[in-house]
Amino acid sequence: MEKGSDVTGFVLMAGAGSRLRGIFPNIPKPLVPVDGVPMGIRVIRQMRDAGISRIIVNLHHDAGTIREGISRALPSGIEILWSYEDIVMGTGGGILHAKPFFQESDILVVATCDILTGYDLGKGILAHRTSGERISLVLSPSGPESESGRIATTQNEGVAFPPFDSVAGDVPHFFTGIHLINPDVFSGLGENLAPPFSIVELYREYLGKGGFIRAQVTSEPWLDLGTEDGYRHRESFLEELRQGSGRRER
């Protein structure tokens, strides 16, 4: 992907991280170490490797601690824009709150801070741009049981939310937490919603107005680090990623 200011990243870090408190009661989730690197920094690195140099981070819980920790470990050449939320706004509310930071960009790439994946984000951005669609979500045919039944692909390579229509060809998939969005789609969306609300509510509204959301289906492995069970599998997963990378390079 060509480097440039037309793509802005957004890493979601405002959540409380309560699912990891049993292991890390005093460390905010974005700063939890994964092979010696804060998990939030791993996602920022993935964006940097895809050519994204301008990244928004939203903050609420432990905002000062997270900002200090991310700033200390930040890769060179990255500009961080901090979007503070005085109240919990949810993924949808938080993204709309940060619109002034990305509304001039061609593409907004949103990712959660607690997902590890072998997905090639640079190729995904190119595929989104080439498709001409305004929203693409990265889905996988496999994932944690806790995420089953939340999203599906349609016969025309679109995305559907429950209730699904299996007769029409909806096939349940798993959402990897990666969104590729043309920011102009947010115009007029969410005007009647009060925070906190999910990005899914905005997507439902968009689909209800006749919009289309494209499914980018990947077979690359991914892991939700935001749960205790997922975190305990991190070492074996990282080894799987390293082995997969080696196979692709040969």
Annotated domain spans of the chain:
7-249
Q: Which helix (H) or strand (E) holds 97?
A: helix 90-97
232 pLDDT above the threshold of 90:
yes
Per-residue confidence band for 236, with pLDDT thresholds at 50, 70 and 90: very high
| Per-residue pLDDT at 247 | 52
| Per-residue pLDDT at 2 | 42
Give the pLDDT mean for 53-63: 97
Per-residue confidence band for 196, with pLDDT thresholds at 50, 70 and 90: very high
Nearest residue to 41 via CA among 63, 73, 8, 67:
73
Give the pLDDT mean for 16-36: 95
| Per-residue pLDDT at 241 | 87
Give the pLDDT mean for 65-84: 97
Cα separation, 169 vs 165, whole angstroms: 7
Q: How far apart are the first and last CA of the chain?
A: 22
Give the pLDDT mean for 234-249: 79
- Please provide the average confidence, as pLDDT, over all residues in the chain: 94
Per-residue confidence band for 248, with pLDDT thresholds at 50, 70 and 90: low
Does the predicted model carry a pTM greater than 0.85? Answer: yes
Counting Cα atoms < 13 Å in the Cβ hemisphere of 212 gives 12
249 pLDDT above the threshold of 80:
no
Do strands 7-12 and 33-34 pair parallel, antiparallel, or not at all (unpaired)? unpaired
Q: Return the amino acid letter for 55.
A: I
209 pLDDT above the threshold of 70:
yes
246 pLDDT above the threshold of 80:
no
Find the angle CA(65)-CA(241)-CA(7) to the nearest 5 degrees. 60
Instruction: Supply the CATH classification number for the domain 7-249.
Output: 3.90.550.10
Per-residue confidence band for 169, with pLDDT thresholds at 50, 70 and 90: very high
Per-residue confidence band for 243, with pLDDT thresholds at 50, 70 and 90: confident
